[in-house]
Amino acid sequence: MCQLERELEGKVALVTGGSRGIGRAISLSLARSGACVVINYQRAEDAARSLEAEIQAAGGMCKLSRFDVAQYEEVQEACQALLDAHGRIDVLVNNAGITRDQLFVRMRPQDWKEVLEVNLTGAFHCARTVAKAMMKRRQGCIINIASVAGMTGNPGQANYSASKAGLIGLTKALAKELAPWNIRVNAVSPGYITTEMTERLPDKVKEEILGLVPLKRFGSPEDVALAVLFLASRWSAYITGEVINVSGGLLM
């Protein structure tokens, strides 16, 4: 972390779904590295304001931006306001995501649609809006938060797995398309990360999961955040179109 401290001084970073879980850790990491972090949220206002206060108390720069990534008009309006205020968006982290788990034969079309709209179409909305501004400045960095589920599939998560697989494909396509404008596009693919969801799992299930992970532990949100910070920094200046698995060796 020491070599990356203040690495993002003067940069503006937008983190979607940035108030809780992995998004919260990403927001904190980017703020500690000197970026002015714009934390997007939709419903978790209390969590967003608490994080804003924490970042500012530590001397960091932070703003909140409430919008639904699935609504293109809301994304456009929010990003334009951000550009009007700062004149730039240097880093976009597409982290916003939801789950609607159910066995495939029981999955409602609405559950399929909602997950794809937030996890995949939401990333398209944000990247399309932000990329135009990055192209004008001929620089920028887009980081998509995928999942190992998008590479291996998970029973009961056909919608989630499909959305994350699509996000990986989007990452690679955008990396090729935007490279001439010096815009790098990469993905971070978390494995089993300690969150509210994993904390609620029965001990037996946790043991079964850990049996699959070579490092024999769940990852932390900070593990994911450090990978994002690396991809946002100059230390990854020659890396684009890649998927970094933060999975404890699960996909080695």
Q: In what order do the strands lie in the sheet with 243-246?
A: 61-66, 36-41, 12-15, 91-94, 140-145, 183-190, 243-246
Q: Is 187 left (phi over 0), alpha (psi -120 to 50) or beta?
A: beta
Torsion angle, alpha carbons of 195, 197, 198, 200, to 10:
120
Please state, in angstroms and rounded to a whole number, the distance separating the CA atoms of residues 67 and 78. 7
Q: Is 33 exposed, middle or buried (0-12, 13-18, 19+ CB in 10 A)?
A: buried
Q: Which of 41, 72, 160, 192 is catalytic?
A: 160
Place of tokens 């997950």: 115
Q: 180: which 2 tokens?
A: 């001439």
Cβ neighbours around 109 below 10 Å, total? 8
- Contact yes or no for 122/16 (Cβ under 8 A): yes
Q: 89: which 2 tokens?
A: 């968006």
Q: Assess whether 160 carries a catalytic annotation.
A: yes
Active-site amino acid positions: 160
